[in-house]
Amino acid sequence: MPERRTVALVTLGCARNEVDSEELAGRLEADGWQLVEDAEDADVAVVNTCGFVEAAKKDSVDALLEANDLKGHGKTQAVVAVGCMAERYGKELAEALPEADGVLGFDDYADISGRLQTILSGGSVEAHTPRDRRKLLPISPAERQLAKADVALPGHADAAAPADLPEGVAPASGPRAPLRRRLGTNPVASVKLASGCDRRCSFCAIPSFRGSFISRRPSDVLGETRWLAEQGVKEVMLVSENNTSYGKDLGDIRLLETLLPELAAVDGIERVRVSYLQPAEMRPGLIDVLTSTEKIAPYFDLSFQHSAPGVLRAMRRFGDTDRFLELLDTIRSKAPQAGVRSNFIVGFPGETEADVAELERFLTGARLDAIGVFGYSDEEGTEAATYDAKLDQDVVDARLAHISRLAEELTSQRADERVGETVEVLVESLDEEEGPLGRAAHQAPETDGQIRLTGTAGGDALQVGRMVVAKVVGTEGVDLVAECLEEARR
């Protein structure tokens, strides 16, 4: 029997990319490829790139160049770019980065195995030609489900799954669903709720290369969650470009409110988390479900971006400081310990000192658990890139530094407020120096800090994948220290 060809997947960017990488892994292993962890041990290194902002694009290029350096010094024969940056730039990226042996777009995912085989055999695969993916589906959301069969949508069903699948590879949600192969053993996994976005924020290029918003069927999401639970997953995080729009193309904008309790009831799942919520689309019923349903984390990843009305309107967004604070008051009146995080852009074209002061007023009153701050930069193809009144780079940098310092101070204060709280912590790792590490309901993976656990809870409660009850006794910046009291009982 010939030796199986090996492939390594290097993933950059957001949790949505991680799900896409696991779909590619499932497709490849089902077609006979052997997955390896390190690029240096693989015949071909597939880099799942991010194309969101300049820093992310630079990281993607660096990863491609790093993988290319392995060629000629070990097993690696080829380096292939996939993901958002490859989809967004295609042939332009291929010309600018000849070190990549292939630049493949979303349309290539269905035959990713064939594409890689061709490249390894010395053949060439034409670089992806970018196109505005917003134009591939009907404008009317109600018509998209019927039309999606002709459009490549990572994370959505597109063909019948093979009858015989390798162990650990399964249709994530039924007989006509994307294959999925977990690339790690962490007890937390993301589940794609939808893809694309219908919003037209003036600073964002994502809809142009991710396409229009389209929901996955509830049965698909449930099926994938059940499969993940069978793989040992304890927490699922629902991801998409805009989770608050879920169901609008299925005829029910409140579909998320009915789906969440069903996900929470999946045997083996201890926590369900919803990411990326639009403040302007928050509904009283959704807030109620997120704050009162057992196993649903009272966690609000709200995309505020700014709070000064003039800046928000220029961003083609809605709201203001007082309305945002009122939303947070409503959430905390129902769940005082609810976690809230958000990202903000400073230095947007036309932003004034008064606008910065208004943002400071919001941040000071919001009591956010985690804050991401970014300095504005033009993204080609966006409306904001055409705006006048651009600020000098030194002004943008100064405002970024100022708001970042304020954010660090405020999130540390918010962590201090949590001392004395009793929290449920999912144990995620056992560090040799720090001991058991995990996260509470108000902390999402990788972005919101973690909890270092002390004490014992009897038996093997402090093992990876266990949910324990702990009391917060100290802080380390945004991270918390908590004394373990007992294993959580359901």
**Radius of gyration of the chain, Cα coordinates, nearest whole angstrom:** 23
Extract the annotated binding site for [4Fe-4S] cluster: 14, 50, 84, 197, 201, 204
Q: Measured between alpha carbons, how far is 24 from 339 in angstroms, rounded to an integer? A: 33
Extract the annotated binding site: 14, 50, 84, 197, 201, 204
Token pair, residue 473, equals 């006794």
Provide the β-strand partners of residue 482: 453, 472
Token pair, residue 133, equals 């993916």
Q: What is the SS3 string spanning the chain?
A: CCCCCEEEEEECCCHHHHHHHHHHHHHHHHCCCEECCCHHHCCEEEEEECCCCHHHHHHHHHHHHHHHCCCCCCCCCEEEEEEHHHHHHCHHHHHHCCCCCEECCHHHHHHHHHHHHHHHCCCCCCCCCCCCHHHCCCCCHHHHHHHHHHCCCCCCCCCCCCCCCCCCEEECCCCCCCEEECCCCCCEEEEECEECCCCCCCCCCHHHHHCCCEECCHHHHHHHHHHHHHCCCCEEEEECCCHHHCCHHHCCCCHHHHHHHHHHCCCCCCEEEECCECHHHCCHHHHHHHHHCCCECCEEEECCECCCHHHHHHCCCCCCHHHHHHHHHHHHHHCCCCEEEEEEEECCCCCCHHHHHHHHHHHHHHCCCEEEEEECCCCCCCCHHHCCCCCCHHHHHHHHHHHHHHHHHHHHHHHHHCCCCEEEEEEEEEECCCEEEEECCCCCCCCCCCEEEECCCCCCCCCCCCEEEEEEEEEECCEEEEEEEEECCC
- CB burial class (10 A; 0-12, 13-18, 19+) of residue 394? exposed
Q: How far is CA 112 from CA 24, 32, 81, 118, 440, in A?
A: 7, 12, 12, 10, 38
